[in-house]
Amino acid sequence: MVLSTGLTGKEDMMEMSHGIVSAEEWQEARKRLLAQEKEFTRLRDTLSRQRRELPWELVSKTYRFDGPDGEQSLPELFDGRSQLVVYHFMFAPEWDAGCPHCSHWADSFDHAIVHLNHRDVTMVVVSRAPYEKLRAYERRMGWHFKWLSSGRSDFNFDYGVSFTRDQVAAKRAIYNYVEQDPGVSDREGISVFVRGGDGSLLHTYSAYARGIDMLNVD
């Protein structure tokens, strides 16, 4: 049952598009949605378990990064912890500023990283732009997390977030595990690494596009 609101114009259209009901009817509708939400939660728990059970890939290639501590290797980015999370921030070498969407998400990184560090996890941000550009933009935005340039290595290309001029022009590249038009030369993503007991470096997970929604903690 939809009740009359007495509203007119856009306000009336907005109200009527949802339907105005009694308290009893609202409770029943909310319970039906709650059942679906609970099912989604159970599915998410299952997916999280399957994510943890993924096999790990041995990282045999050497990568070098430029950052606030000078040149560092990928193992050095762990900063003594056993796990490393890398956020692939969209900032191509020729750009003068970082991606606005990545910037919105990065606004929450500083506080989140404090909690990750207490759980044996280091998180850093990596882009292809020269470190001088990253540092200038970081100061402009008021951030303090560790941001490094991978511009002198194949890191971004190997982990599926950067593409050649030919790939962009042809609108054909592998992004998010399928061939598609990447749109631009650099895209967003997240990659996770762990240190093996024997000191080996292992790649455990990468996600792109909507797969990185878990990082949006605003």
pTM, entire model = 0.88
Residue 57 main-chain phi, psi, to 5 deg: -105, 130
Reported as a single tens digit per residue, the pLDDT across 75-105 is 999 999 999 999 999 999 999 999 999 999 9
Beta carbons within 8 Å of 110's beta carbon, 6+ residues apart: 143, 144, 145
Reported as a single tens digit per residue, the pLDDT across 157-175 is 999 999 999 999 999 999 9
Provide the pLDDT confidence category of residue 5 given band limits of 50, 70 and 90. very low
The C-alpha atoms of residue 41 and residue 214 are separated, in whole angstroms, by: 14
Reported as a single tens digit per residue, the pLDDT across 26-64 is 999 999 999 999 999 999 999 999 999 999 999 999 999
Q: Which of 84, 46, 47, 50 is nearest to 65 (CA)?
A: 84
Provide the pLDDT confidence category of residue 71 given band limits of 50, 70 and 90. very high
Q: Which numeric CATH code is attached to 57-215? A: 3.40.30.10
Lowest mean per-residue pLDDT among 2-11, 91-100, 127-136, 148-157: 2-11
